[in-house]
Structure 1
Amino acid sequence: MAEVKTTGTPSVQSVPSDPEKDANVTAGSNNPADEYIDPKIERSLVRKFDLFILPMCALVYYTHTLDRANLGNAKTMGIQTDLGLVNNEFSLVLILFYIPYGICNIPAALLAKRFNPARVIPLMMLTWGALSMITASTKNFGGLLGVRIVIGIVEASYMPCVYLYYSLFYTRKELALRTAAWGFTGFIAGATSGLIAWDVSQWHRSLSGWQYLFLIEGGMTVGLSVLVFFVLPRDTNSRWFTPEERRVAELRLLKESTDEGVGKISWKAGLAVFGNWHVWAFAAMAFLCGVGVASSSNFLPTMVKRIATSTPKANLYTVGPNLVAAAVQIVSCWISDRYQQRALVSFCTLVVSMIGFILLATLDLVHHTRVGYFITYLITFGTYMPELLMPLWMSSNLTSASARAVALGLFIGGQNIGGILSSALFRDEYQPVYKPALIAVAICQGLLLVGLLAMRQVYVGLNKKLERGEIGPVVGMEKNPDFRYAV
């Protein structure tokens, strides 16, 4: 971020230790922790962030979720029969999609750090939208597999890039609710995909319903990517912000991270992540989280179909669980920001979803369809919450943007590899109940619950040592000794 001169700027000044003696203290203290930020200008700055950043990132996540959900809906619309997929070839398509989706996250995050996420995100969005449209032209297993692998490579950029982009503007106390804003859109996308699938499945035209599904959703993505490219701010030097707001933005971030400069990568800080056991612990938890996320995303339409009486109803019935989950997510993220509790909020919501997976696997839903449909609401209730809060929690405890880029790549990679396990678990021979798969998902969520509490206690212990002076300031925060780890 370019340095902004602060001479004569009323928004930033050193806090006087004695108002009578130090009333003429000038701006620009070398210690950001000692500099005062005018709340009025900070509120104006954050409002502009919310105006230009949140809607655009929400649109990106909307299209990203559409693409992740459409293959599950296409399965209920006959794509397996039309392409001649046999045995477990559909599951294999999902598995091989998640391999590049899981290993390309670190390169994507570093690419965004080097060339600016605001440029990389819409470019990747345009690409996966075009590939989604191409999916409609596939004729066999090989064609579908090839397109999905390339989509996996491109879509690997999304999650680490957006989290990294958010960290360039928002403080860690503001992140959860802002992340929920585009996460909310993801649930709306899941509902939209169900509605589109429900509609096109009743068309009787030259193409199959699943082909129209890919064409419509892919075309929407391509069109929206152009809008995102021109609106999304590159940084706070954008024309949207005043000089006073730029200085405030700089100070806000200096209180929480080191200044590496725009377009630069600190390889020392980035490589140090591989020796940080905290990051690996988060990556392991991300894997456990990813099993549930992928199971809900890819197989919710299939699970609902065993409850519904027809394919159109199966697609339509996915709308309700997604909308309720969206509301839960907004409220939960507000609570997380209000009380600065990432682990406990993730824990409480995830317990509900784990119970849902257990009930879905063990109850006789063939004869109790209404109960079964209610359980799908439990599944979406908290499955996605750790996916949103854990990367915010992890990156808040890293003070280098380069370290965050690598760590977010590891985290999202671990989560996506969890999708591989999910795809392997939901085998055709387990249908229609998929009992072994659902039990396995519940076990993964149980282990994740233990991990959330364990990591919280680790950071609580470190904060107590910082308070007592038993350990020195956090590396990179020597000028801000008040820095504490997020819990």
Structure 2
Amino acid sequence: MGDLKLANTPSIKSMPSDQGNHSNERSNPDIIDGNEYIDPKIERSLVRKFDIFILPMCALVYYTHTLDRANLGNAKTMGIQTDLGLINNEFSLVLILFYIPYGICNIPAALLAKRFNPARVIPLMMGTWGALSTITASTTNFGGLLTVRILIGIVEASFMPCVYLYYSLFYTRKELALRTAAWGFTGFIAGATSGLIAWDVSQWHRSLSGWQYLFLIEGGMTVAISVIVFFVLPRDTSSKFFTADEQRVARIRLSRESELEGVGKIEWETAFAVLSNWHVWAFAAMAFLCGVGVASASNFLPTMVKRIATTTPKANLYTVGPNLVAAAVQIVSSWISDRYQQRALVSFFTLLVSMVGFILLATLDLVHNTRVGYFITYLITFGTYMPELLMPLWLSSNLTSASARAVALGLFIGGQNIGGILSSAVFRDEYAPVYKPALITVAICQGILLLALLAMRQTYVTLNRKLARGEIGPVKGMENNPGFRYAI
């Protein structure tokens, strides 16, 4: 795994003393020196353009992705089980089988994006899952719903690894968390939006059921937005959106943290060699633990709220508040993570709050204390999603090859998505309305993850100390950048 700079390492190098040599290098666009001077004005202009063209589009993609992840949970409160004649644990089975392709197709999707460009793959996959979402409204039985959800799982598997990989083509480590939280913020807005739409359509009395209108509206929105995303997302830093000086600065920035492989090329040996690194598998295991909580909060929050709200419209409406508060927490926590370059500690303290929330939700008598129960749902969304955001950034920051990142991120997201299988399996109908065994299971997974976060952080702290003392190094791929250190 490649190293990264310490938090106090400047991102803008001082003006080199040998002006002539660097002038000759700048005259040759094919020669990139990571120590080359960067004009702060050009860098600010470049990052500003990244934020203008990339952030809104990725935010819209995540918005639609979260809509689909939330709508099945809302549909459950709107009678989809009764309308489709689902019996026993067939609804849970739909969720479980969705997570299988959602968990195993991540590496192929990431490699597909590396080969054909994430800016093309992301909107194409997005339009496909939007179309499949609209088709869900036409299902009439368990088999039809299961088929559509499996297909959606295949195409939605592309989203997370592709977007993280795409971000690594533009942003540096010190910029990643807050930018990722910017589109993650819209995910919580999507959760709130889905609750509002569900609350509205659940009161319609027309030819279709409320859950059918939910899928039609949200699926149609996704298809329309995917067209916009396809034409706006920059393909790479050589896009027409950027001047020649900005393009060069972009390459210098990336050369300081990774090998310059270019878009449309896969270093196959490097890509799969990363699978022999135990750090990558440790992150995949942590992703699984994280995924149990993420899937539980996403799929079953409306169900958990309904036990407090007592009616379907209120259950859907009451999911808005926890999602909005969680969005604000995510923005603040991501800023702190970027400012102090602390991925593990920020993940740890926010997740600790959510673990306490799951324990309280499982153990307290909330039938007679509904206000307390509703407050606890805010604790659940407070930190459950933070490791989901920060850990893949942490992992990719410690890899210097984009090909290696594609495989590692695919494995990480796959582990997280497979965690959804355990979540779906433990939220069984016979555990309703409290779902105590399921909630305790989530809390245990989060407790183990808390310990793993601290252990992995200490691993990198130890490696950084050895690098500083010269006991190990140089790191493969970063031989010309001995000042790089592992992200912690």
TM (normalized to structure 1)? Answer: 0.96
Q: Could you tell me whether the CA contact under 8 Å between 1:187 and 1:323 is conserved in 2?
A: yes
Distance 2:81 2:464 in 1: 53
| 2:61 paired with 1:60 | yes
Structure 2 match to 1:318 = 319
Distance 2:260 2:274 in 1: 18
Distance 1:222 1:171 in 2: 31
Q: Could you tell me whether the CA contact under 8 Å between 1:15 and 1:34 is conserved in 2?
A: no
Deviation per CA, 1:368-391: give whole Å up to 9, x if none. 000000000000000000000000
User: Residue type of the partner of 1:154?
Assistant: V
Distance 2:14 2:453 in 1: 39
Q: Could you tell me whether the CA contact under 8 Å between 1:102 and 1:156 is conserved in 2?
A: yes
User: Residue type of the partner of 1:145?
Assistant: L
Structure 1 match to 2:142 = 141
Structure-2 change in CA distance of 1:13 and 1:360 (3 Å): closer
1:31 CA drift (Å): 6.8
Q: Could you tell me whether the CA contact under 8 Å between 1:136 and 1:210 is conserved in 2?
A: yes
Structure 1 match to 2:22 = 26
Distance 1:40 1:74 in 2: 50
User: Residue type of the partner of 1:60?
Assistant: V
Distance 1:195 1:23 in 2: 60
Structure 1 match to 2:453 = 452
1:262 CA drift (Å): 1.7
Distance 1:32 1:338 in 2: 26
Structure 1 match to 2:426 = 425
Distance 2:32 2:62 in 1: 37
1:122 CA drift (Å): 0.3
Q: Could you tell me whether the CA contact under 8 Å between 2:22 and 2:36 is conserved in 1?
A: no
User: Residue type of the partner of 1:268?
Assistant: E
1:32 CA drift (Å): 2.6
Structure-2 change in CA distance of 1:320 and 1:261 (3 Å): same
Which residues of 2 match residues 85-96 of structure 1 at below 5 A? Answer: 85-96=86-97
Which residues of 2 match residues 256-275 of structure 1 at below 5 A? Answer: 256-275=257-276
1:259 CA drift (Å): 1.4
Distance 1:187 1:473 in 2: 42
User: Residue type of the partner of 2:169?
Assistant: L
1:237 CA drift (Å): 1.2
Q: Could you tell me whether the CA contact under 8 Å between 1:14 and 1:26 is conserved in 2?
A: no
1:472 CA drift (Å): 1.4
Q: Percent identity?
A: 86
Q: Could you tell me whether the CA contact under 8 Å between 2:78 and 2:211 is conserved in 1?
A: yes
User: Residue type of the partner of 1:59?
Assistant: L
Q: Could you tell me whether the CA contact under 8 Å between 1:91 and 1:426 is conserved in 2?
A: yes
Distance 1:24 1:251 in 2: 18
Structure 1 segments of 4+ aligned residues over 4 angstroms from their partners: none
Structure 2 match to 1:237 = 238
Structure 1 match to 2:107 = 106
Deviation per CA, 1:263-284: give whole Å up to 9, x if none. 0000111111110000000000
Q: Could you tell me whether the CA contact under 8 Å between 2:257 and 2:400 is conserved in 1?
A: yes
1:86 CA drift (Å): 0.3
User: Residue type of the partner of 1:379?
Assistant: I
Deviation per CA, 1:228-269: give whole Å up to 9, x if none. 000000011111100000000000001111111220000111
Distance 2:237 2:16 in 1: 28
Distance 1:172 1:223 in 2: 32
Structure 2 match to 1:84 = 85
1:96 CA drift (Å): 0.1
1:131 aligned counterpart, secondary structure: helix
Unpaired segments ≥5 residues, structure 2: 1-11
1:33 CA drift (Å): 3.4
Structure 2 match to 1:46 = 47
Structure 1 match to 2:8 = none
Structure-2 change in CA distance of 1:423 and 1:68 (3 Å): same
Q: Could you tell me whether the CA contact under 8 Å between 2:32 and 2:252 is conserved in 1?
A: no
Deviation per CA, 1:116-143: give whole Å up to 9, x if none. 0000000000000000000000000000
Which stretch of structure 1 is more off in the superposition, 253-262 or 341-350?
253-262
Structure 2 match to 1:5 = none
TM (normalized to structure 2)? Answer: 0.95
Q: Could you tell me whether the CA contact under 8 Å between 1:32 and 1:479 is conserved in 2?
A: no
Structure-2 change in CA distance of 1:223 and 1:23 (3 Å): closer
Structure-2 change in CA distance of 1:235 and 1:31 (3 Å): closer
Structure 1 match to 2:177 = 176
Number of residue-to-residue matches in the alignment: 472
Structure 1 match to 2:124 = 123
Structure 2 match to 1:356 = 357
Distance 1:431 1:480 in 2: 56
User: Residue type of the partner of 1:79?
Assistant: I
Q: Could you tell me whether the CA contact under 8 Å between 2:67 and 2:218 is conserved in 1?
A: yes
Structure 2 match to 1:16 = 16
1:432 aligned counterpart, secondary structure: coil
Distance 2:368 2:259 in 1: 59
Structure-2 change in CA distance of 1:366 and 1:13 (3 Å): closer
1:54 CA drift (Å): 0.1
What value does the CA root-mean-square deviation take over the aligned residues? 1.2
Distance 1:435 1:364 in 2: 11
Unpaired segments ≥5 residues, structure 1: 1-11
Distance 1:476 1:122 in 2: 32
Which residues of 2 match residues 301-450 of structure 1 at below 5 A? Answer: 301-450=302-451
